[in-house]
Structure 1
Amino acid sequence: MRHPLTGGGMTVAFNDVVLLSTLLSPERIPNLGDTAKITSAMKEFHWKRKGLSSIINILAQALYALFAANDKQLKALQKGCFAYFQRGGNCIDGPVGLLAGIIRQPFVLFYHFFAVALLSIWIVMQNTMGSILGIWKFPLAVEQSALIFWKACVVIFPFIFKILPGMGER
């Protein structure tokens, strides 16, 4: 799952090279003709690389879904994402650290993604209820907020369950 939006493919490729060079090093496998050891190293590579690449892939796909917004809830999440990035500090450092492969903790991805979702909901609530008649629009704002949160879950959870180690079959 590489996408030009994030450029994470090279980061994953470099991580793969480092991991493979470690797993196939002469100290571990002195003879590359040893099929059993090579097979074992490749199985280990398959599962270890998922831990290195899954966060980058999930974030890239989730960002693509937001930036290719084709419905009202995705557009609200997109607006929230831009507002989140404009806050600077950890709101930029965290996502960039995830994309760069520096931060490899799935919880950090989860945190930032749902922080964007909650900020999106906050923006919708403010925009919907910002006028004098806002109190009458409260039920509409609650409904829109629930739909935005649901859409955020629909965007991120399929990628998490499909990609993260231990979530699929081994």
Structure 2
Amino acid sequence: MLAPWLYDFPVDSLIARFKHNGKWPLGRLMAELLAQFLQHRFDEGLSRPDYLVPVPLASRRFRQRGYNQAAMLADWLGKELHLPVDERHVLRTRETPNQQGLDAKARKRNLRGAFALVDTDWLRGKHLALVDDVLTTGSTADVIARLLTSAGASRVDVYCLARTPKPGD
């Protein structure tokens, strides 16, 4: 999991404005900084993925917001890093209650059966990178990564703007 920031002030406010208030220039700026962070890692020897895969948004949340912030981040990252983005093959199959405020166990339970793959031939042997805005417990990323690797992906990385601080951070 690669994230340049901790989900703490002021980054949490910037992400919230992008995610919930449609402040796309903030999202674009953070995506450009994430791209620089990742490019530095690639230059140091981190393997570049074959595809960026945004975490799909529940359709109800998409209707409310009008956009999927993870897909926007993936598109911006793809342009900056010259990587293809695949939004068509990982689907959100059911609505789930909001993850905010749930502990790790409740998050995993909440996500059971929430994602599915369409046409897995494209991913066999591929190195993929999931893209999301924030990694809290890692439950969403873990569920999708397991789904992708069980279908044949050789490796799944996770790229986020920020992760929640762990004790001692």
Give the TM-score normalised by the residue count of structure 2.
0.31
* Larger CA Rg, structure 1 vs 2: 1
Higher RCO (C-alpha under 8 Å, 6+ residues apart): 2
More strand by share: 2
